[in-house]
Amino acid sequence: MHFPSLGTCIFVPPHPADWDEAEQYCRSKGAHLVSITSEHEAFIVRDLVDKNNAKFFTWIGLSRGDDESSGDLESSGEGSGEFSGEGSGIEEENRDFTWSDGSKFDFNLFGPGEPSKHGDCVAWDRPNSIDIWHAINCDYAQFFLCKRNALNATTDYFEGPEGEIISPNHPKNYSDLQRRHYFIRVPDQERILLDIENFQTEKDRDTLTIYDGFSERAKTMRRLSGSISGLKMISSNNAVLLSFSSDEDTTDKGFRIKYRTWKYPDIIQIKAYGDSRDGHIESPNYPDPIGPLKFQHYLIQCPDSYHINFVIKDFSLQPEDRFAFHKVYDKKSRPILSNPNPSYLPYSFSTTTNISYFCLFVHFGRSQGEIQIGSQKKRIPFLKGLVDTLRQTDLRSLAQNEADFLVVEHAAFVGARHVD
């Protein structure tokens, strides 16, 4: 399988072998046992281990002592990127280990007490989804992974806060039998907004596939072909892969795509204590249209003996807001309202606890809305322990995690004004 973000192909042979046999098998395919030189590469290999051999050891290309076969193929570790993780850094006693493909050994995931002096070959184990590299006897038969440099595929890399992606030869026509990848990676807390300004390819033949992640195993955001303009989309994580391919006849002008990064704003906390127990939330510029790609979310909290009463006074969706919805969560886990029907406004409902997470969410549209928040006294002693437990945690962190879940659907909005 091709991983453009690494510039390599990794494949899973169907049979177990001891370490030397596994390395020879990989070499017969123009590869070596897989090397892992960064946290980014470990993330990808970890996924392959989990999907193919999660319950048993998996050989990797690390062994103790010089490997005579190292370096006779071009190092497949090249292009793995300058990423560091918790496993980086090599202790002095581990420096007699080498990768069979000649990659530099400056990253490891050895477990406690490892590497053992009782084995010279390294296998990856995933007990309870925990990463542990073990040095074990090289004669054991284990499944393994092979890695080689990708052939006949070009990858362009982007890491800046904004950039432009263009098809080969643009604005002239791209060539037949073209295959090109574009990989965007930004800091972990940021997302990627794609703006497809113009797109013209042979319909149903020459395609651009956009993946929401590091590889072609990730979720497909869109598969584009034909004539398109003015399309926008946003990723659900910090990496996007775009893969373009053309067939053997008929070409066109290709595409121009701009991207920029987008980051979650801080959560707005509303605490209704003392005499300040009522307020309202409204969208930006209400009652005028909101505008695209804005996200605000709220954590509302009142005293233990109260719950929160919501009154939806106005909520309007435009036809283009096909992804629009808002959600109100009881505490932080159970959604108690989604997509209110404007025909039934005003609409009132209440939480069962003194804490609620609230998010309004829209996709590049013009929706508008207003929510009135009030509080009513209602004793809920059977939930007191649950609320106390929640209060001892980081509420902002909890809300941010919830927002990560919500934003998978694409972009989001809403502004707030709390009235005492």
Q: What is the pTM of this model?
A: 0.63
User: What range does the domain containing 112 cover?
Assistant: 2-65+94-149
Model confidence pLDDT, tens digit, residues 152-180: 778 899 999 999 999 999 999 999 998 89
Which phi and psi angles does 396 have, rounded to 5°?
-65, -40
Q: Give yes or no for residue 195 having a pLDDT over 60.
A: yes
**Does residue 77 lie in a domain region?**
no
Condensed to tens digits (0 to 9), the pLDDT of residues 214-239 reads 888 889 999 999 999 888 888 988 99
| Residues constituting the chain | 420
Nearest to 327 by CA among 306, 351, 303: 351
Residues 186 and 255 placed together within one structural domain of the fold? yes
Complete DSSP assignment for 229-253: -SEEEE-SSSEEEEEEE--SS----
Residue 311: the pLDDT is 78
Task: Name the residue among 364, 362, 307, 366 with its Cα closest to residue 339.
Answer: 362
- Range picked from 149-163, 279-293, 332-346 for highest mean pLDDT: 149-163
Q: Which of 234, 262, 290 is the last residue of a domain?
A: 262
Here the CATH number for the domain that contains residue 223 is 2.60.120.290
Across the chain, mean pLDDT equals: 75
Q: Is residue 76 part of a domain?
A: no
Q: Are residues 252 and 180 in the same domain?
A: yes
Asked which of 131, 149, 167 is the last residue of a domain, the reply is 149
Q: Is 49 found in the same domain as 27?
A: yes
Q: How far is residue 416's CA from residue 32's CA, in Å, rounded to a whole number?
A: 56
Asked if 79 and 6 touch (Cβ cutoff 8 Å), the reply is yes
Task: Mark which of 207, 229, 262 sits at the end of a domain.
Answer: 262
Total domains in the fold of the chain:
3
Which among 100, 102, 121, 79 has a CA at the least distance from the CA of 27? 100
Give the burial class of 160: count Cβ atoms within 10 A of its Cβ; 0-12 exposed, 13-18 middle, 19 or more buried. exposed
Pair 398, 356 in one domain: yes
